[in-house]
């Protein structure tokens, strides 16, 4: 099954490569009406691979600003107003799109003229209903926790888990049913971190080809990256600087025993909560051949070094201080942290994302 899916994926890549050039770009026009933003600068932007790119900018003239361009396929663009927090997302497509907003509350922006955006809003409205329900369960969990009501804590946690599963099922059902819509490409692109390789791949190969879909292209790339670092594959080497600015390669520590490559950051709450567990396992098994190699997705070196000291992480640490753009993170397909890869003495990846007792059990079994 995996071989068949992989061949389908490769065929899809070849198909997109052949077809993209046959679909000509078409013009789109965006007319933006903004109140309470006289002579302000507006930027038309896109975001892909965690990078913001400004496509055009213009100043508001008598409450209006206009943008135009060409697209091969619909794409999510964003309007940013200088001095105003946040951005207004909208699906651009070959059409005349009207956007009206008040600079004092851009979250209430009205977007018309984009059928693609209308379909995305329809999905998002139902999807967010689950998010609201999740928030209510979380509030109940916190309240029960403060009161020390263990039964209520367990009940709220159970409801949260059930709602979370229902939300994901709703999304998957939507993606499978609407497999010819670029909106589905975007939804999966935004939520790819929630899926393991096999589930992600099955959704991607189910999509109908859409030449020019930057999201489907990115999803295909992600599947290929995840395949290259899947369990059973040899580790991929990289070098980054340690806190003393000395380059350390993964290969300099891998292959000597059992190695946990731990992707984390000082600002990541779940990472910091997991650190004591890793420290305890390290203390118990380091003398038997267990080691850790920390890769930080920090951008602030001082905070990174401070967290290492505070959490007593006495193993090797590296970072390129590029945050989510960390090159090692890209190499290993990291989209959420904490993220970990367990490498055996032969340099083979034997497990991913084990935490707490699961990690301890795996380490103990391997080193016994």
CA-nearest of 269, 298, 270, 282 to 359 is 282
Fold of 26-112: Immunoglobulin-like (2.60.40)
Residue 100's contacts (CB-CB under 8 Å, 6 or more residues apart) are 32, 33, 34, 109, 110
Note down pLDDT in tens along the chain; length 368 residues.
333 334 344 444 433 443 444 678 999 999 999 999 999 999 999 998 778 999 999 999 999 999 999 999 999 999 999 999 999 999 999 999 999 999 999 999 999 999 999 999 999 999 999 999 999 999 999 999 999 999 999 999 999 999 999 999 999 999 999 999 999 999 999 999 999 999 999 999 999 988 889 999 999 999 999 999 999 999 999 999 999 999 999 999 999 999 999 999 999 999 999 999 999 999 999 999 999 999 999 999 999 999 999 999 999 999 999 999 999 999 999 999 999 999 999 999 999 999 999 999 999 999 98
Exposure on the CB side of residue 161, measured as CA atoms within 13 A: 6
Interatomic CA distance for residues 156 and 303, integer angstroms: 35
Q: Which CATH number fits domain 239-367: 3.40.30.10, 2.60.40.1110, 3.50.50.60, 3.10.580.10?
A: 3.40.30.10
Strands 258-264 and 290-296: parallel
How far, rounded to the nearest angstrom, does the alpha carbon of residue 354 sit from its chain's CA centroid? 19
What's this model's pTM, rounded to 2 decimal places? 0.84
Assigned token pair, 145: 């926790």
Residue 172's contacts (CB-CB under 8 Å, 6 or more residues apart) are 203
Residue 92's contacts (CB-CB under 8 Å, 6 or more residues apart) are 28, 30, 69, 71, 74, 75, 76, 77, 114
Q: Return the domain boundaries, the chain.
A: 2-20+117-228, 26-112, 239-367
Strands 239-241 and 96-102: unpaired
């Amino acid at each position: 099954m995996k071989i068949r899916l992989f061949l389908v994926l490769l065929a899809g890549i070849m198909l997109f490569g052949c077809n993209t050039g046959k679909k000509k770009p078409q013009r789109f026009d965006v007319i933006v009406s903004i109140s309470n933003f006289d002579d302000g600068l507006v930027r038309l932007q896109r975001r892909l691979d965690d990078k913001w790119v400004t496509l055009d900018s213009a100043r508001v003239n008598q409450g209006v600003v206009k943008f135009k361009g060409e697209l091969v396929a619909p794409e999510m663009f964003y309007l940013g107003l200088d001095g105003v927090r946040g951005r207004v997302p909208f699906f651009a497509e070959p059409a005349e799109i009207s956007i009206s907003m008040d600079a004092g509350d851009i979250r209430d922006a009205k977007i018309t003229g984009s059928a693609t955006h209308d379909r995305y809003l329809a999905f998002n409205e139902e999807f967010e209903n689950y998010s609201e329900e999740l928030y209510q369960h979380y509030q109940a969990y916190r309240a029960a926790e403060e009161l020390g009501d263990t039964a209520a804590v367990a009940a709220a946690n159970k409801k949260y888990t059930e709602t979370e599963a229902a939300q994901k099922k709703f999304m998957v059902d939507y993606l499978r049913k609407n497999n010819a819509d670029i909106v589905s490409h975007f939804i999966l692109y935004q939520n790819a971190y929630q899926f393991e390789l096999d589930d992600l791949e099955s959704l991607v190969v189910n999509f109908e080809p859409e030449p020019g879909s930057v999201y489907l292209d990115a999803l295909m790339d992600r599947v290929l990256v995840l395949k290259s670092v899947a369990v059973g594959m040899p580790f991929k080497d990289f070098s980054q600087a340690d806190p003393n600015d000395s380059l350390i390669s993964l290969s300099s520590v891998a292959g000597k025993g059992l190695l946990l490559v731990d992707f984390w950051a000082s600002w990541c709450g779940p990472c910091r909560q997991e650190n004591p567990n890793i420290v305890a396992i390290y203390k118990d098994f380091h003398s038997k051949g267990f080691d850790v190699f920390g890769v930080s997705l920090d951008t602030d070196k001082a905070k990174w070094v401070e967290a290492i000291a505070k959490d007593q992480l006495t193993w090797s640490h590296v970072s390129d201080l590029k945050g989510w753009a960390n090159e090692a993170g890209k190499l290993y397909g990291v989209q959420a942290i904490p993220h970990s890869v367990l490498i055996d003495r032969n340099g083979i990846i034997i497990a991913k994302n084990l935490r707490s007792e699961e990690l301890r059990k795996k380490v103990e079994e391997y080193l016994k």
